[in-house]
Amino acid sequence: MSANHDSANLLEVRGLTKIFGTLTACNHVDLNIAKGEIHALLGENGAGKSTLVKMLFGSLEPNSGEIFWDGQPVRIASPGAAKKLGIGMVFQHFSLFEALTAAENIALSLDDGSPISSIAAKARALSYSYGLPLDPESLVGDLSVGERQRIEIIRCLLQTPQLIILDEPTSVLTPQEADKLFETLERLRSEGKSILYISHRLEEVKRICDRATVLRHGKVVGHCNPRQETAASLARMMVGNEVKAVVRAPAEGIETAPALLEIRALTRKPATPFSIPLRNINLTVRAGEVIGIAGVAGNGQGEFFESVSGEALQPEAGSVRIRGKDAGGMSITGRRLMGAAFVPEERLGHGAAPRMKLSENLLLSRHATDGKAFVGSGGMVKSAAIYAASQRIIEVMDVRKSAPDPEAAALSGGNLQKFIVGRELDRKPSVMVVNQPTWGVDAGAAAHIRQALIELARSGSAVLVISQDLDELFEISDAIAVMHNGELSKPLPIAEATFEKIGLLMGGAEPGHAEHTLETA
């Protein structure tokens, strides 16, 4: 079904502009959404997608521009006003209370005072009619991310919106869960509802969207029919130039290379009621290889990273071994001194202190390593040396910044990530553990970071990459293991791995089952 250009547009946006200080986040943006179409909003991180959507949903006020709803000029002053018009939104980051049931969470967002039981009944009916099975009585804390997203979608549908905005809905789903979501979206379209679909995954945009609007640096750079484009041509529109492909030569002689990082029967009890226990994890990363760990968010990746990095210690010293030595009882500093380096998922507040300069952030992970290069014997910080080293990293990693030595928070997410990865690469670590290396990083910088990780491995280091981006893992890994509910599957060599197999494991299929599927396929 193609978009109906003749009928009146449901939503029309003309010249919408939003300025933050010196940054023009949205610059005279035009956007038309017809009734009964799935419209993609494409753009890299920082292109202005979120800002535009926030203005449409009433949580940001535009500096100038007009919005027409069903041909009438409207002013959307608040999310409440947006809901009243018939605009619903499913956010990328869910706003659910884990200790409440699905129905209670839905009831909280509806302010009509109807009893929970009737809301639960309505939600159940709606969920089945749209093929989104959901038990309204279940506790959110017990639900998978995909199920939580269903709550958000049903919560949105209960308000019978005409336009549904979905912000990166598949970023937390397994491929199979994403397929289910697409069916629901197509069903909604057939009922005449419009959908604004925000994503940077080009294949799925090509698959389900009727039209696309592409944003770059806050400006609309084009409208197109994604089905007539290739993923490469869409990427070119988003980025503005060709993205360099990552080059990965096959690893050789890995089987006999020394094991630099070994995880042996790693088990961890949950530290909080909502954290995931780790169950008997075994993994070996050898010199020269990149091992990827796939998995839907919240399946124990964060807990696993903490255990490997030494932010959480293990009772069994042998459950983490670095370069052949037991490290389970060692602090993160001790593990760094053995040659390991770590990049956490969260950049601001974990990998970097937001209100400190980049040069000071260099010291964060390298105050004890590098001999006496950065900290003298009396505990005096060598500020000239850390400044020089941070400038070296900035140059190597092509970190774009506004001042010679800005605060970490002043950098864009992608540039800060380049600095944080570069800070560890600069040490030439023999073991590198990275959680979400390119989360929210633009395509050009992501390619740079991935290439650097591959090169580190090929120069003789062991690299472990935890990521929710399957494309990324297939691009850089020599083998992929899947983490599900605190368990880790056996790594599949990249030659044997397929999206389908990894997807099944991500959804919780028995490892044996995935093997079986491949054999019978």
Question: At its nearest, how many Å lie between another protein and the CB of residue 123?
Answer: 30
- Which among 214-222, 233-241, 259-267, 364-372 is the span making contact with another protein, rule CB under 8 A? 364-372
Residue closer to another protein (CB basis): 230 or 383: 383
By CB under 8 A, how many residues form the interface with another protein? 44
- For another protein, the binding residues in 34-93 under the rule CB under 8 A are 60-61, 63-64, 75, 77-78
Q: Is 394 in the site for another protein (CB under 8 A)?
A: no
Q: Is 342 in the site for another protein (CB under 8 A)?
A: yes
Question: At its nearest, how many Å lie between another protein and the CB of residue 341?
Answer: 12
CB 156 within 8 A of CB 485: no
Question: At its nearest, how many Å lie between another protein and the CB of residue 318?
Answer: 21
Question: At its nearest, how many Å lie between another protein and the CB of residue 381?
Answer: 6
Residue closer to another protein (CB basis): 378 or 512: 378
Question: At its nearest, how many Å lie between another protein and the CB of residue 268?
Answer: 16
- For another protein, the binding residues in 408-427 under the rule CB under 8 A are 410
C-alpha to C-alpha distance for 423 and 395, rounded to whole angstroms: 11
Among 351, 414, 422, 507, binds another protein (CB under 8 A): 351
C-alpha to C-alpha distance for 327 and 336, rounded to whole angstroms: 10
Q: Which residues contact 107 (CB under 8 A, 6 or more apart)?
A: 114, 116, 119
Tokens found for residue 53: 């959507």
Among 7, 114, 233, 333, binds another protein (CB under 8 A): 333
C-alpha to C-alpha distance for 508 and 485, rounded to whole angstroms: 8
Q: Which residues contact 56 (CB under 8 A, 6 or more apart)?
A: 11, 13, 67, 76, 82, 87, 165, 196
Among 2, 7, 15, 20, binds another protein (CB under 8 A): 20
Question: At its nearest, how many Å lie between another protein and the CB of residue 49?
Answer: 15
Question: At its nearest, how many Å lie between another protein and the CB of residue 311?
Answer: 6
Among 101, 365, 390, 468, binds another protein (CB under 8 A): 365
129-136 contacts at long range (C-beta below 8 A, 24 or more positions apart): 130/154, 130/157, 130/184, 130/187, 130/188, 131/180, 131/183, 131/184, 131/187, 132/180, 132/184, 134/102, 135/102, 136/101, 136/102, 136/103, 136/106
Among 21, 253, 273, 371, binds another protein (CB under 8 A): 21
| 362 sits in which H/E element | helix 358-366
Question: Hunting for tokens 């770590």 — which residue is that?
Answer: 342
Question: At its nearest, how many Å lie between another protein and the CB of residue 410?
Answer: 5
C-alpha to C-alpha distance for 521 and 510, rounded to whole angstroms: 17
Question: At its nearest, how many Å lie between another protein and the CB of residue 332?
Answer: 5
Q: Is 19 in the site for another protein (CB under 8 A)?
A: no
C-alpha to C-alpha distance for 258 and 461, rounded to whole angstroms: 10
Among 244, 350, 392, 400, binds another protein (CB under 8 A): 350
Q: Is 368 in the site for another protein (CB under 8 A)?
A: yes
CB 14 within 8 A of CB 50: no
Q: Is 309 in the site for another protein (CB under 8 A)?
A: yes
- Which among 35-43, 188-196, 304-312, 486-494 is the span making contact with another protein, rule CB under 8 A? 304-312
> Which is nearest to 343 in space by CA: 224, 465, 452, 444?
465
CB 279 within 8 A of CB 267: yes
Question: At its nearest, how many Å lie between another protein and the CB of residue 421?
Answer: 14
C-alpha to C-alpha distance for 6 and 340, rounded to whole angstroms: 61
C-alpha to C-alpha distance for 97 and 105, rounded to whole angstroms: 7
- Which among 253-261, 391-399, 403-411, 489-497 is the span making contact with another protein, rule CB under 8 A? 403-411
Among 267, 331, 391, 517, binds another protein (CB under 8 A): 331
- Which among 148-156, 168-176, 285-293, 330-338 is the span making contact with another protein, rule CB under 8 A? 330-338
The residues pairing with 293 across neighbouring beta strands, listed in sequence order, are: 466, 481
- Which among 90-98, 186-194, 328-336, 469-477 is the span making contact with another protein, rule CB under 8 A? 328-336
Count other C-beta atoms under 10 Å from residue 320's C-beta. Answer: 26
Q: Residue 17: exposed, middle, or buried by beta-carbon count in 10 A (0-12, 13-18, 19+)? A: middle
Binding site for another protein (CB under 8 A): 20-22, 60-61, 63-64, 75, 77-78, 309-311, 331-333, 336, 342, 344, 346, 348-356, 360, 363-365, 367-368, 375, 378-381, 383, 406-407, 410
